[in-house]
Amino acid sequence: MSALLHPRYALLRQLATLAAVLAFWEYAGTQGWLNPLYMPRPSAIWLALRDLFLDGRIWPHMQATFTAALGGLVLGVLAGVVLGIVAALVRLLSELIEPVMLVLNAIPRVILAPLFIIWFGIGLGSKIALSFVLVAVVIFFNVFGAVKNVDRRLVERIVTLGGGRWALLRQVYLPSITASVLHNLKVAVGFAFTGAVVGEFVGASRGLGYLISFAQSTYNAALMIALVLLILAVVLVIFSLANQAEKRLMRWH
């Protein structure tokens, strides 16, 4: 018995507890202790999830959400990096860019979703735009900080070894920026999906966010929980990809 308390079996204990909770939940459902309208049984959630895949109707929605999230992520990272570098190096431009970013950072940026729908329609554009704004602001501040706080000793080292501007950029600035972006890639991925999904349930005809909003309007709690689990799984997969990218590119760390 005490062997099972070894730290090595932590995962086993966690899974056993989860199984017990699910079993009790299921049992409580069959006994009628829980109202299925609010709290459907795990088996019902499982069935809802399975159905989504069985008839294949989930794929276009997944595709829509992925396209929006990845589009927003890529564009947001690019814009954040470029604006961050420019603002950190060119004082006149930082006077313009920084206040805008500070304001965007201070407000809950998802409130822009309805505006984007007016501007870009209920299609892909408005979701990418929301994803983009969420990601770009986070990346901007990270890159801005990375460039501003670049290790002065490394800069002096390169200069005294005879390196010029290009060498400084290549040997000191770019690696510092890359490190900071990679460090925050997971946060950015989370924001990218938040943007896409929130955009979809404000107004869309496709996407996981749209399905959630559909489940809400039809009072389908099982479908809703199934979708939440699905998004969770998707984001976890992407997190692990981001983790691998970070490990590979930061092996000096």
Residues in contact with other proteins by CB under 8 A are: 151, 153-154, 156-164, 167, 171-172, 175, 179, 251-253
Q: How many CB atoms lie within 10 A of CB 200?
A: 27
Nearest to 57 by CA among 234, 251, 207, 246: 207
Shortest distance (Å) from residue 18 CB to other proteins: 38
CB of residue 74 to other proteins, shortest distance in Å: 24
CB of 13 or CB of 170, closer to other proteins = 170
Neighbouring C-beta atoms of residue 182, cutoff 10 Å: 19
Provide, rounded to whole angstroms, the least separation between the CB of residue 170 and other proteins. 10
In whole angstroms, how close is the CB of 244 to other proteins at the nearest point?
18
**Nearer CB in complex with other proteins: 111/161:** 161
CA nearest 45: which of 13, 69, 22?
A: 22
Judged by beta carbon, residue 123 or residue 163, the one nearer other proteins is 163
Q: Which is nearer to other proteins, 39 or 155 (CB)?
A: 155
* Closer by beta carbon to other proteins, 104 or else 159: 159
Smallest distance, other proteins to C-beta of residue 121, A: 44
Amino acid letter, residue 209: G
Under 8 Å CB-to-CB from 212, ≥6 apart: which residues? 197, 200, 201, 224, 227, 228
Q: Give yes or no for a contact between 39 and 223, defined as CB atoms under 8 angstroms apart.
A: no
Judged by CB, which is closer to other proteins: 7, or 162?
A: 162
In whole angstroms, how close is the CB of 100 to other proteins at the nearest point?
32
- Quote the CA–CA distance of 120 and 115 in Å, as a whole number: 9
Cα dihedral sign, 118-217-221-230:
negative
From the CB of 17, what's the least distance to other proteins, in Å?
38
Is the Cβ of residue 159 or residue 187 nearer to other proteins in the bound state?
A: 159
